[in-house]
Amino acid sequence: MSRFACVHHIEVGVVNGQATVDMLTSKYGFKVTAIRNNSVAKQWVLTGNDVRFLVTELLTSDQKLIEADDIAVDWMPCLSGHVTQRKDSVFNISFQVDNLDLLSLEHVQVVKPVKTLAGGQVRLLTARGCLGDVHHTIVEKTDFSGHFLPGFTGLPDTTPDTTPDTTPDTTEDLAEFGWSHFDHVALSVPIGGSRSVMKFYEKFLGFQRFLVNRDESPEDGLVLSHHLRLRAMRYQRGAEAGALQRGAETDGPVLEPTDQFCLVLSEAPSLDVAGTNKVEQWMTSHPGPGIQHLALSTSDIKRAVRQARRCGVQFGQPPPSAYYTQAGKLADILEVNESVQDLQELDILIDKDQGKRYLLQIFTSPVLPTDPFFLEFIQRHGALGFGSGNITALYRSMRHMENMEVTLSADQMVPVVTQTQ
Ligand SMILES: [Fe+2]
């Protein structure tokens, strides 16, 4: 039985494609499985089971040439401010659907109208989202047996992509990381902007709002601190049969974590802290709203963190030791039979849901040279949330730590953004 596979790929637009590919392969264990080169762009597909990145380096700034290309998209004009030089950005969440014609394009800015490729086996459409440079390429495939998308060439050691979203990659590096699928994307949203964002994704793709936990107010979202307010939406199994599947929330079966892909909307709660909170700072650095972080599901987060450390991945500021020994957190760790020593050694955070359901997570430092985007590793043991309970736990554990800066952002503690060039 195939895993939920509504996300076809996530696209990273970069200045130096080869350097980005080298980084993703050497530090995170992904494999280059297909490439595409023409006068408009160089593109690489990197794969780890159902995690698929498309790295794009544009070779021209001629908008007419880019618009005419079947697949390449220019994200630069959509960044905020006066960005004069091309800049790295994770900008495209591509979804696979069974029928493009079911999409509601009212109020959607289509940047690449529907293209029919490979004799009708593939249809593509790219639309701009409603936030900054966020785009969505919607993919419809019918009996497509090529690599990734038309125009891509599979590398010699790869097999044809006959079951594109379900073929496991069993190479050693991938086994070390245990990558499984995209779990969620966190979007940085301007203050007061979440309602319109939710409306956009509901109408365009059939995402549905859900309450992260019992503390969340339907009206106000989940206010976690003066830095952060969260709301969440999900796109669930079955939605790929068409663009929309309304009513499943109440009528359908209980969802498992692998049945869904979530968007987490993070915004500052009020104008009073504009410019001082981490969501606003992220948008200044990006610049503008956008994809703040991406959570990769792993089957073994401890093994993944150890391997990542060996490969030179930098993680965010570790939690203080008091985080693991405070009463509530320690009891949670022991109740689910995790090892305090292991979690503390690896700086992994834990958030327990009801009963023995919990999740483990950790955040990397920014992964691209000039963008604050970062990754989250997540391993779920039944919990459906995003680790919001860790916000409180981290604050509590910080009380005894003087002169230590905690950076709290999207749905968690996140690394300080450092620009390396
Ligand atoms: Fe997250």
* CA of 412 relative to ligand 1 center, distance in Å: 7
Taking the centre of ligand 1 as the mean of its atom positions, its distance from the CA of residue 385, in whole angstroms, is 9
Residue 293 Cα to ligand 1 midpoint, Å, equals 7
Q: Please give the distance, rounded to the nearest whole angstrom, from the Cα atom of residue 107 to the centre of ligand 1.
A: 28
pLDDT per residue as tens, the chain (421 positions): 334 458 999 999 999 999 999 999 999 999 999 999 999 999 999 999 889 999 999 999 999 999 999 999 999 999 988 788 899 999 999 999 888 998 889 889 999 999 999 999 999 999 999 999 999 999 999 999 999 999 999 997 654 444 444 444 445 556 789 999 999 999 999 999 999 999 999 999 889 998 887 788 888 888 877 778 889 998 876 544 344 333 333 344 455 556 679 999 988 877 665 556 788 889 999 999 999 999 999 999 999 999 999 999 999 989 998 999 988 899 999 999 999 999 999 999 999 988 899 999 999 999 999 999 999 999 999 988 888 877 666 766 655 443 334 444 434 444 333 333 3
- Spacing, Cα 215 to ligand 1 middle (Å): 18
Alpha carbons 149 and 135: distance in angstroms, whole number: 18
Is the torsion defined by CA of 293, 417, 78, 276 positive or negative? positive
Q: How far is the CA of 103 from the centre of ligand 1 (A)?
A: 27
**pLDDT reported for residue 223:** 81
Distance from residue 377's CA to the centre of ligand 1 (Å): 9
Residue (of 408, 210, 415, 204) closest to 318 by Cα position: 415
**CA of 278 relative to ligand 1 center, distance in Å:** 14
Please state whether 132 falls in left (phi above 0), alpha (psi between -120 and 50) or beta. left
Ligand 1 centre to CA of 346 (Å) is: 18
CB-based burial of residue 351 (10 Å sphere; 0-12 exposed, 13-18 middle, 19+ buried)?
A: buried
d(CA 189, CA 150): 34
Distance of CA 74 from the midpoint of ligand 1 (Å):
26
Q: Give distance in angstroms: CA of 194 to centre of ligand 1.
A: 17
The type of residue at 313 is V
Q: What's the 238 CA to ligand 1 centre distance in angstroms? A: 23
Instruction: Compute the distance between CA of residue 347 and CA of residue 327 in angstroms, rounded to an integer.
Output: 18
Q: Model pTM? A: 0.87
* Cα-to-centroid distance, 94 and ligand 1 (Å): 18
Report the separation in Å between the CA atom of 415 and the middle of ligand 1, taken as the mean of its atom positions. 12
The pair of structure tokens assigned to 283 is: 């948008």
Count of beta carbons in the 10 Å neighbourhood of residue 275: 9
Q: Which residues crowd ion ligand 1, with CB under 5 Å? A: 186, 295, 376, 386, 411
Q: What separation in Å is there between the alpha carbon of 170 and the centre of ligand 1?
A: 26
159 CA to middle of ligand 1, Å?
33
Instruction: Give the residue from 392, 4, 19, 2 showing the smallest Cα distance to 213.
Output: 392
Sign of torsion, CA 284 420 413 379?
Answer: positive
Q: Would you put residue 186 in left (φ > 0), alpha (ψ -120 to 50) or beta?
A: beta
CA of 411 to the centre of ligand 1 (A): 5
